Structure 1
């Protein structure tokens, strides 16, 4: 048994893998296991992984027979994890050399802690920026959940293995449902703390969440999965209501994607996306009107779906015109 199990899901990340793996093999905390799951890469990622594994017996390489997505790959790795604590590292990211030791030290000092957040540095092509969070030493699970709804705190952390095994990665969707896992882990934690170890989070336009794809509509189903899990865990009703407000904003944001980028999708994909938006609007419009909130134009539930669509067309068309005239 190791102190920490690190899950690395890999898909066509050959150009970044050496930096990622070097940051793990060079950790000041030596008692770790590195579980790398190759999700059917078509580049030479697997060769790189096997080369590192041949030189460091802490690295385990698992090759999947077919591509299943990041959440599935991490869950496969989780099944092999034997550490007291678990964290993930994306194949294009890397840690500071003391990151894992810093997090474990917090767990050792505070046994009731369920999750420890890393300090995060966002790495862009031309600059690096520290992720700004509220100044805190400790949060309750409920406080961490609320702050995570708008990502005032991020989702890059180490978690106790028993929490992670009870709540594996949400595989509802190929994208976006990993946000759910983060929030569920926070809810399940007695307390959430932070450490000084740094997670270097690479930002690039090649990532799946930045591309124009029909998978963008997965966000809606991922949000619904999160709501079901919150209800199953008997989360306080005010927190559920707050999350529904968040879901409504996400639905509007997804409609903006449909409005602005629909031309980049096929006819079938556009139809699917519109049907998903309509379905979610139907489940939420009455509830949001009942909230008694004064919504600004563009965010109002509206009495009917055609009226809602007219509002969105006007709102995003005007936004586009104003943006071009600046």
Structure 2
């Protein structure tokens, strides 16, 4: 930072509400290190999720952060006003909490402010789309054409008025803004009555031809994608702008023609996008637009003709001729309809039949889809139809108890039939009975997505349970890690996830990751993992029985070894010499080997010649919960089993010999080596020592486990399955979930993880 820039201070004001999945990235992007003349004022606008706790975490570790917690939701505009009243910087920058700054942006803005000392500094932005595409603003040429002086007025460069009218693409001199008496309004489009007037009043405007801001185009939750009557707020906002111009008199009259055209342009955008105003309200919106047109039309105004049909639209608006506007938009609407038809046909053709038998099955399925839904029929599945397991199994058992009127049917592959528990009804995937069942069922429960051919009918309810806490990146977060993504079709993934009505979160970290990775329209059930109910309620009797079933010799320390899948490996390869480690552990230890289910292993222990009484291969055991209960300690690397196992309060050892490789190739949400659930070993000797020296049972390891459990098991109280059944199957409302402060005190950026 230049010496002059240290004389200029900047306050970044961040209103926050229901953005827990994006907030950490936002805060990290603006809290550039080495900039003491920066303050970040975060306004927790009574956010119902973990945002307030996340903000407190940042404030605790960075003195530049000030947090204000509001007791009621006041909306974006009023939250900005509160932040402005708290600000002490020479300049203010209003920042949306689901967006983020580019690297070095804060420093570059401060440097430019010091160089030019403007009333308003404008800088460029880029749009970031959910599919990973990033596109610079389409008006970025306005920063360069024609070349701009260091400072100027709007009269000298009126094209600045054509830039995006938001508050986040400009830094404003605080005293200048306060003296103007401008305040953000309530409702939608709350910033236009500030962003336009400051340009008209500024004596010194400056530009920074640099992308400083990334504007996130969210799939859900954004104002521009929420249709409703609130979009009528735009008329009052523009009334305020013209009232401001009236107050300034002749000084502002020169800007009326351009401001008028910008107003009508924006109102047409709101009306014609199709996702903001309900079609039934189009005519009423058009009538209000006509009133605005005739109220503020400048004398001698000539309708713009830079786009085909625009001048005709202006004339239709002036006459309040809604039918004429509809005719002018008919070609666009027809094109949309054609695209919609093509999309339907494309969806119908997805999964092209590869055999006459499959075609026959799918035809039968289409026929069954015409039959009524059976209100008391539920379909359960887990791990791509592998069998009875995980969260769906725990929910199934609770449905049988609390909602016995529901008929529950599992879907399994033909190879999984032999492992289905006695008395559990099931159908084999691909059979006629399978298609009849999935066509008729009311409820669908799975820990992964159902196949693409499963059609979600109106009235059907999908509960997605997931099957682990996401230490690794999941969903759309994987796009930055091509090794982990492995040519994944993210568009298809999101379309499958759009079927979810409910999504279970095991802890606050999961809630953040699911919101980012799966931005779909579902209700987040922050209830803990149903499969962990068994662990929380486990007794010594359960432990003795589980050990007997596995044949664990009396008096041996049983270590459950459950490594994760590594995307950068083609086949399973142990990270250490299992035979040598078992030998060094001694006769009083036994290793329960649980290879990841992605690997088709039958009896690796026998194949490798390891002693049968020292290494028990449990890779095909149906219940990892029973294995956890039977064991005395867990040895893993980056598997999500650690989050479940922590509920048992038993030692956990993390073998992180390839952490850097895994982190860079798969992507992670936090650094497990900095926030471990026990002992971290990076070499084979350290691994052996953790057990032989009993360090895994020591005070330091116990303290780590307690902190880990507080963060990642806050909702695992033995009643998660019941909460899921009551909400989904019985339609009961669940009480709000309290998020312990410890559970929100760790995040993706806490360790600098990408």
Coarse TM-score class (shorter-chain normalised): 0.7 to 0.9
1:222 paired residue number: 237
Task: Note if 1:284 corresponds to 2:293.
Answer: yes
> Considering only aligned residues, what root-mean-square deviation do their CA atoms show, in Å?
3.1
1:37 paired residue number: 43
Q: Residue 152 and residue 249 in structure 1: after superposition, are their counterparts in 2 closer, same or farther (change >3 A)?
A: closer
TM-score by structure 2 length?
A: 0.38
2:170 paired residue number: 157
> C-alpha displacement at 1:49, in angstroms?
0.6
Unaligned runs of 5+ in 1: none
Contact map agreement 2:225 2:276 (CA 8 A) in 1 = no
Task: Note if 1:133 corresponds to 2:141.
Answer: yes
> C-alpha displacement at 1:148, in angstroms?
4.3
Task: Note if 1:315 corresponds to 2:328.
Answer: yes
1:256 paired residue number: 272
1:293 paired residue number: 302
1:205 to 219, 240, 244: 219
2:205 paired residue number: 192
> C-alpha displacement at 1:141, in angstroms?
3.1
Q: Residue 143 and residue 129 in structure 1: after superposition, are their counterparts in 2 closer, same or farther (change >3 A)?
A: farther
Contact map agreement 2:270 2:277 (CA 8 A) in 1 = no
Q: Deviations over 1:141-172 (max 9, x none)?
A: 31588334432787512121111222466443
1:146 paired residue number: 158
User: Within 1, Cα distance between the matches of 2:31 and 2:184?
Assistant: 29
> C-alpha displacement at 1:179, in angstroms?
2.2
> C-alpha displacement at 1:139, in angstroms?
5.3
Contact map agreement 1:180 1:226 (CA 8 A) in 2 = yes
User: Within 2, Cα distance between the matches of 1:54 and 1:287?
Assistant: 50
Q: Which deviates further from its counterpart, 292-301 or 31-40?
A: 292-301
Unaligned runs of 5+ in 2: 1-6, 304-309, 340-754
Contact map agreement 1:167 1:181 (CA 8 A) in 2 = no
User: Within 2, Cα distance between the matches of 1:51 and 1:148?
Assistant: 39
Q: Residue 120 and residue 25 in structure 1: after superposition, are their counterparts in 2 closer, same or farther (change >3 A)?
A: same
Q: Deviations over 1:78-118 (max 9, x none)?
A: 1111111111221112223432222222222223x212223
Q: Residue 88 and residue 145 in structure 1: after superposition, are their counterparts in 2 closer, same or farther (change >3 A)?
A: farther
Q: Residue 148 and residue 27 in structure 1: after superposition, are their counterparts in 2 closer, same or farther (change >3 A)?
A: farther
Q: How does 1:228-239 map to 2 (within 5 A)?
A: 228-234=243-249, 235-239=251-255
User: Within 2, Cα distance between the matches of 1:55 and 1:303?
Assistant: 57
User: Within 1, Cα distance between the matches of 2:155 and 2:298?
Assistant: 26
> C-alpha displacement at 1:278, in angstroms?
2.4
Q: Residue 145 and residue 262 in structure 1: after superposition, are their counterparts in 2 closer, same or farther (change >3 A)?
A: farther
1:115 to 120, 124, 135: 120
Q: Residue 101 and residue 316 in structure 1: after superposition, are their counterparts in 2 closer, same or farther (change >3 A)?
A: same
> C-alpha displacement at 1:58, in angstroms?
1.6
Contact map agreement 1:27 1:97 (CA 8 A) in 2 = no
> C-alpha displacement at 1:28, in angstroms?
3.9
Q: Residue 186 and residue 9 in structure 1: after superposition, are their counterparts in 2 closer, same or farther (change >3 A)?
A: same
1:76 paired residue number: 82
Q: Residue 79 and residue 61 in structure 1: after superposition, are their counterparts in 2 closer, same or farther (change >3 A)?
A: same
> C-alpha displacement at 1:73, in angstroms?
0.3
Contact map agreement 2:18 2:49 (CA 8 A) in 1 = yes
Q: Residue 251 and residue 229 in structure 1: after superposition, are their counterparts in 2 closer, same or farther (change >3 A)?
A: same
Task: Note if 1:247 corresponds to 2:252.
Answer: no
User: Within 2, Cα distance between the matches of 1:281 and 1:166?
Assistant: 34
Q: Greater RCO between the two (CA within 8 Å, min separation 6)?
A: 1
SS in 2 for 1:142: coil
SS in 1 for 2:245: helix
User: Within 2, Cα distance between the matches of 1:62 and 1:311?
Assistant: 50
Q: Deviations over 1:284-311 (max 9, x none)?
A: 3386596363663333147754xx1221
Higher helix residue share: 1
Q: Residue 158 and residue 261 in structure 1: after superposition, are their counterparts in 2 closer, same or farther (change >3 A)?
A: closer
Contact map agreement 1:28 1:98 (CA 8 A) in 2 = no
TM-score by structure 1 length?
A: 0.84
1:6 to 4, 7, 12: 12
Contact map agreement 1:170 1:177 (CA 8 A) in 2 = no
Which structure has the larger Rg? 2
> C-alpha displacement at 1:324, in angstroms?
3.6
User: Within 2, Cα distance between the matches of 1:180 and 1:34?
Assistant: 24
User: Within 2, Cα distance between the matches of 1:100 and 1:128?
Assistant: 20
Q: Residue 55 and residue 233 in structure 1: after superposition, are their counterparts in 2 closer, same or farther (change >3 A)?
A: same
Contact map agreement 1:37 1:62 (CA 8 A) in 2 = yes
User: Within 1, Cα distance between the matches of 2:13 and 2:87?
Assistant: 8
Q: Deviations over 1:18-54 (max 9, x none)?
A: 1111122234422211110011111110010111111
Q: Which deviates further from its counterpart, 250-259 or 28-37?
A: 250-259
SS in 2 for 1:162: helix
